[in-house]
Amino acid sequence: MMARAALLPVALLLCLALAGNADARRKSGGGFYELKNKNGDFSIKVTNQGAAIVSAIVPDGKGNLADIVLGYDTVAEYASGSASFGATVGRVANRIANAQFVLDGKTYHLIPNDGNNTLHGGPRNFGKVIWTVKEHVHDGDSPYITFYYHSFDGEQGFPGDLDVYVKYQLSRPYDLSIRMNATARNKATPVNLANHVYWNLAGHGSGNVLKHKLQVLASKYTPVDGSMIPTGQVVPVSGTNYDFRKPTTVGTHLEIFRVGGNGYDINYAVNGKQNAMRKVARVQEPKSGRAFELWANQPGVQFYTAGGLANEKGKDGKVYRQYGALCLETQAYPDAVNHPEFPSSIVRPGHVYKHDMVFRFSSQASYYDA
């Protein structure tokens, strides 16, 4: 009798333990994947946790390699971290005012996660979910990896099923392209995907980016109110602290970075034809000479100098501090779904959203002086 009575709890515990394991496997379905060029001097790592870019190793003019992307050592930190390091954020990147919008006469309620606003699609945005790895070619002439995610009708409050792909690819000599698409299956929905990679071209964890030189090919920007929501105006950068039309040191307008300020976190209206691939920005770190040009086919680009970073524990024992990186997130204008005067971010059933961007790295010291 005694033995029998003891067996039951043991069997029960075993069942629970097995169920627990399966659950753990599902939850920890994230891993790291690498793409490496033929020379071995250009590589990236990505994770299917949030379809995020984890590292980018790029040479400077002397061939010195550095990892120029902020990130974490473990998949678990990508799941729990709040900085969206390298992540593919959505269904709607950036802010949606008061966590709601009206589409075709219906009001949709989202989950506020930034004061009263929704940021990057909500607390469980595309940067917080596990994506499926569809294809992975590790090396060769143009290595690539494709991630897929099915976003269900009602996920985080958004309407309709959405099939989403993100493809990372290296090509010669030092180009990293990120191609995203999303197909609305059955309902109209706003879509705005962005890659939230944090750059420091001197190397991640090497200090602030205030000496980086930046050019943004935008004559106008969208000013915001006190809760970071665009006022609806699209105004000239001329004569403001937001003028980066010519290559300009990021820290030039110091008042932006002083106590009380929080650095840059602003959307630019990129010059040129909206759905055409065009040059958006150039960045160069003066000491190493490392630089990239960013090309994309989106209406806007959010320039963010990581004002929200505060002693974030990162890769390789580094600690990331305020202004320790800059982000240039090509995308639709923030809160476009509540601003009929902005370029539309609505995708109708059967239609496809396409977002392409290319980071073209270079290490010529005279990049900007030429």
For the CB of residue 96, give the shortest distance to ligand NAG in the complex, in Å: 14
For the CB of residue 313, give the shortest distance to ligand NAG in the complex, in Å: 28
For the CB of residue 110, give the shortest distance to ligand NAG in the complex, in Å: 14
Among 74, 100, 183, 252, binds ligand NAG (CB under 6 A): 183
Structure tokens, 361: 């790295």
Q: Which stretch binds ligand NAG (CB under 6 A): 10-18, 52-60, 78-86, 176-184?
A: 176-184
Dmax (CA) for the chain in angstroms is 89
Distance CA 56, CA 65 (A): 10
Q: Choose between 264 and 353: whose C-beta lies nearer to ligand NAG.
A: 353
Distance CA 349, CA 160 (A): 8
Place of tokens 């691939």: 277
Q: Which one is catalytic: 120, 196, 212, 339?
A: 196
Q: In the annotation, is 138 catalytic?
A: no
Q: Choose between 175 and 285: whose C-beta lies nearer to ligand NAG.
A: 175
Residues with Cβ < 8 Å from 58, sequence gap 6 or more?
42, 65, 66, 68, 174, 290, 361, 363
Q: Which one is catalytic: 204, 212, 329, 339?
A: 329
Which one-letter amino acid corresponds to residue 291?
Answer: A
Is residue 124 a known part of a binding site?
no
Q: In the annotation, is 355 catalytic?
A: no
For the CB of residue 116, give the shortest distance to ligand NAG in the complex, in Å: 4
For the CB of residue 169, give the shortest distance to ligand NAG in the complex, in Å: 9
Is residue 95 a known part of a binding site?
yes
Is residue 197 a known part of a binding site?
yes
Among 43, 118, 146, 192, binds ligand NAG (CB under 6 A): 146
Among 167, 204, 212, 339, binds ligand NAG (CB under 6 A): 167
Distance CA 227, CA 118 (A): 11
Is residue 94 a known part of a binding site?
yes
Among 28, 177, 181, 364, binds ligand NAG (CB under 6 A): 181
Q: Answer yes or no whether residue 165 interacts with ligand NAG by CB under 6 A.
A: yes
Q: Which of residues 59-118 bind ligand NAG (CB under 6 A)?
A: 115-116
Q: Which stretch binds ligand NAG (CB under 6 A): 74-82, 99-107, 178-186, 234-242?
A: 178-186
CA atoms within 13 Å, Cβ hemisphere of 299: 15
Q: What sections of the chain are H helices per DSSP?
A: 2-27, 75-80
For the CB of residue 310, give the shortest distance to ligand NAG in the complex, in Å: 19
For the CB of residue 148, give the shortest distance to ligand NAG in the complex, in Å: 8
Structure tokens, 302: 């959010």
Q: What's the distance, Cα to Cα, between the start and end of the chain in Å?
A: 89
**Interface pattern 216-255 for ligand NAG (x via CB under 6 A):** -----------x----------------------------
Cα-Cα-Cα-Cα dihedral sign, residues 236, 256, 228, 180: positive
Binding-site members for beta-D-galactose are 94-95, 196-198, 265
| Catalytic residue numbers, as ranges | 196, 329
Residues that bind ligand NAG (CB under 6 A): 115-116, 146, 165, 167, 179, 181, 183, 227, 352
Binding-site members are 94-95, 196-198, 265
